[in-house]
Amino acid sequence: MKYLEEIFKEYKRVAKKLRKLVEQGTEKLEIGDIIAIYGEDIAYGIVFEKIGDMYNAIFLTTELILGGAGQKIEIDHLVRSVKVTPINFYITNDLVKYCEVIGKVKEDELRKIVENFKKMANRKYKGIWEKFYTFEIKRIQIFYDAFLSKMINYEEHSENEADEKIIDLSKFFKKEELEKLLPSVAAASTSDKYENIIIEVSDGFASLYLPDELIDKEAEIYLSSKLIYAGKLPSTLKLAVGHNFPSTLLKEKLQIKLRES
């Protein structure tokens, strides 16, 4: 473990947070694209999903030893290879121009990569692994900030805007039940999609950004078969969990039932 701590210490010394990105002139991305993003440092990702006008990407680390169980991907760029991490991030339209496409993986290979990512995202990390993934997330915080800014801007200008609703899950589950249901992870922020709903987990909250067609609809929301909300759907639902967890878990355990009018 001391050996890994030394590797992490050296990695932190040379790796830098992306604050000012360098434009590449890219106009669009495609599923399977391997991308490089330049700034004070370089970050790699692979696009695996398109949601509206945004792309969902898996963050790829250049630190192979601390990358652990992540699938290794040969890219032969400024580095020879990278590894899959349990971290994903959204690339908004405004940030596409900063992404250079340096490669592309075939559909069957992408499927394996996504499976590896989801398996890693569902694990609970401690010690050096928790420190490492938290550090990597902070390096690409610029993408999380852009995503949240887009969501806030959308809500402020939506004609169907409704009040934000906060649901305290501690009223429905004991602390140990919540930890078992949604195990905490080191990730500072994770994003995913439940049907046409965007899920953002950050700072102990899970924010559900609902599309226009669901706002003001009468519905019941269940988490692991337990009713946690009944009434009109707002534009944003926030679940107060108390810790961060992989957003993919919520997608698997959440159910929204619309009431018949």
For residue 152, pLDDT beyond 70: no
Q: Are residues 244 and 175 in the same domain?
A: yes
Amino acid type, 133: Y
Q: Are residues 113 and 202 in the same domain?
A: no
**pLDDT value of residue 13:** 92
Domain CATH number, residue 23: 2.30.30.110
CA distance 73 to 81: 5
For residue 207, pLDDT beyond 60: yes
Over residues 150-154, the mean pLDDT reads 49
3-class SS of residue 161:
coil
CA distance 250 to 121: 12
212 vs 150, which has greater pLDDT? Answer: 212
Q: 229 lies in a domain?
A: yes
Q: 233 lies in a domain?
A: yes
Q: 152 lies in a domain?
A: no
Q: 34 lies in a domain?
A: yes
**Domain assignment of residue 117, given as a range:** 2-147
CA distance 147 to 144: 5
Exposure string (b/e) for 99-121, b if CB count within 10 Å is 16 or more?
Answer: bbbebebeeeebeebbebbbebb
Q: Are residues 137 and 174 in the same domain?
A: no
Over residues 36-63, the mean pLDDT reads 91
Q: Is the pTM of this model over 0.85?
A: no
CB 234 within 8 A of CB 162: yes
**pLDDT value of residue 179:** 86
By DSSP bridging, strand 197-202 and strand 205-209 are: antiparallel
For residue 122, pLDDT beyond 90: no
Q: Are residues 125 and 225 in the same domain?
A: no
Q: Are residues 252 and 131 in the same domain?
A: no
pLDDT level of residue 146 (50, 70, 90 thresholds): confident
Over residues 192-200, the mean pLDDT reads 73
Q: Where are the alpha helices (DSSP H) in the chain?
A: 2-14, 107-121, 127-139, 141-157, 175-181, 247-253
Q: Are residues 129 and 163 in the same domain?
A: no
Number of structural domains the chain divides into: 2
